[in-house]
Chain A
Amino acid sequence: MIKKILIIGVLAVVGLIFFDLFNAYQGNESLSKTANYYAENGASQVGAANLVTAIVVTYRGLDTLGEVTILFLTAAIISFILKFREEDFMPNRSVRVTSELLDSAAQVIVPVIFMVGVYIFMNGHLTPGGGFQGGAVIASGVLLMIMANPNFGVSHKVIAVVESISGIAFVLIGVLGIVLAGGFLDNTLLPLGKLGDLFSAGVIPVIYTFVGLKVGAELSNIIGTISHVQNEKN
C-alpha cells in the first residue's frame, strides 16, 4: 500500500515537472542560430541533400564515431557476458518445426531485406535514412533467417572481419581528412559533386556504407549471440 502511494507521489511530481515544461513550450517560428547556419551553409559546405546526414556525419562526425564505438562495446559486452562452453552447446536440440509459410517467406524476403538495407545506407545523404537505419534493416533480415531456421549460426569470423574492416576504414577516412583536406573527418576529401546525385556529398556515402556494414554486423552479432545461448542447457 505504501509502495503504491509512493509510486503515485513520484508520478505526480514528475508529471508536475512535465506539465511545467509543456506550459513553457511555445513552439518555434524560426530556426535557432546554429540550425540557421547549418541550413544556409550545409548544401555548399557538405553537399548532402539530407541536412540531418550532413550534421551526423560531417559537422558532428566525431559523435558518430563515438556512437559506433558504443554499439561495438555493447556487442562486445554481450558476447562477454553470454560466453558459452562448447559442451553446453546442443546442435540438435528439439525445436518446433518452422511453419512452411515462414520458411518459404524467409527465403524470398531475406535477399530483398538485405537489398533495402543497402539501398537505405547508400542513399543516406539523399533520403531519410543512413548507416544506422540500413544496418538495423540488415540485422532484421538476419533475425528473420534465425527465426526461420533456429539452428542457423551467425558466423563470428565473417562478422569480426566485416566489423573490423569497416571500423578501421571509418577512422582511416577521418585521418586521411587531416592529411589531405581540412581536418579530421573532413568531407571534401572527395569532390562534392552535384547536390542530389548518388555520387555526391564527398565522403558521406563512403562513410555511411562502412557505418551501415558495421552496424549491421554488430546487431547481427548481438542477435546471433543471444540465439546461440538459447541452445545452452539450463
Chain B
Amino acid sequence: MEYIIISTGFALMLLGLWGILSQKNLIKIILGFTIFNTGINIVMVSIGYVRGKAAPILDVIKPSEAASKIVDPIPQALVLTAIVIGLGVTALMLVYVLKLHREKNSLDINSFKDLKW
C-alpha cells in the first residue's frame, strides 16, 4: 500500500517538474509548482507510514499502548508546515504574475526577456 502512495508522490513530482519546464503560460507554470509541492508532501507523509498502524490520534487507542499502534506523527507535523508555506509561496507567485501581466499584457513567459541571457 505504501509503495503505491510513495510512487504516486514521485510521479506527481515528475509531472510538476515537466509542467514547470515545458509550459509557456505563467499560470500553468505555477500549477506545475503546486503539483510538485503536493507530490513532495505525499512522499513525506508516506515515509512516516508504519505498516498496519492507525493515525496518531489517541481517541480509541490508549496512551499506554500508543507507541505500538500509531504511525509516525513527525512527518505529518512537517507536512502541515510545508502546506502552509506552499500556500504562501503560491499566493506570492500569483501576485507577481498579476503584476507582470499588467506590465506587458501577456501571460506568455517568452514575452519576458528582461533577465534573459
A residues near B (Cβ < 8 Å) are 4, 7, 10-11, 14-15, 18-19, 21-22, 25, 27-32, 34-36, 38-40, 42-44, 49-52, 54-56, 60, 63-64, 67, 70-71, 73-74, 77-78, 81-82, 126-128, 130, 132, 136, 195-196, 215, 219, 222, 226, 229, 234
Contact = CB atoms under 8 A, between A and B. Distances in A.
B85 A67 contact: yes
A13 to B, nearest CB: 10
Contact of A63 (B18, B73, B81): B81
Contacts of A31: 50, 67, 70-72
B77 interface: yes
A170 to B, nearest CB: 15
Contacts, number: 143
A51 B98 contact: no
A195 B58 contact: yes
B14 interface: yes
A81 B80 contact: no
Contact of B7 (A10, A22, A52, A73): A22
B59 A196 contact: yes
Contact of A128 (B13, B55, B83, B84): B55
Contact of B10 (A10, A11, A18, A219): A18
B57 A78 contact: no
Interface of B: 2-3, 6-7, 10, 13-14, 17-18, 21-22, 47-51, 55-59, 63, 66-67, 70-74, 76-77, 80-81, 83-85, 87-89, 91-92, 94-96, 98-99, 102, 105
B6 A74 contact: no
B22 A22 contact: no
A4 B88 CA distance: 31
Interface centre among B47, B84, B92, B99 (most CB of A within 10 A): B84
A52 B50 contact: no
Contacts of B91: 74, 78, 222
Contact of B56 (A15, A52, A77): A52
A25 B3 CA distance: 8
Given A22-B7, A67-B81, A38 B73 contact: yes
A34 to B, nearest CB: 6
Given A11-B21, A78-B92, 10 more contacts: A10-B21, A11-B14, A14-B14, A22-B7, A35-B72, A36-B67, A43-B58, A51-B66, A70-B84, A71-B87
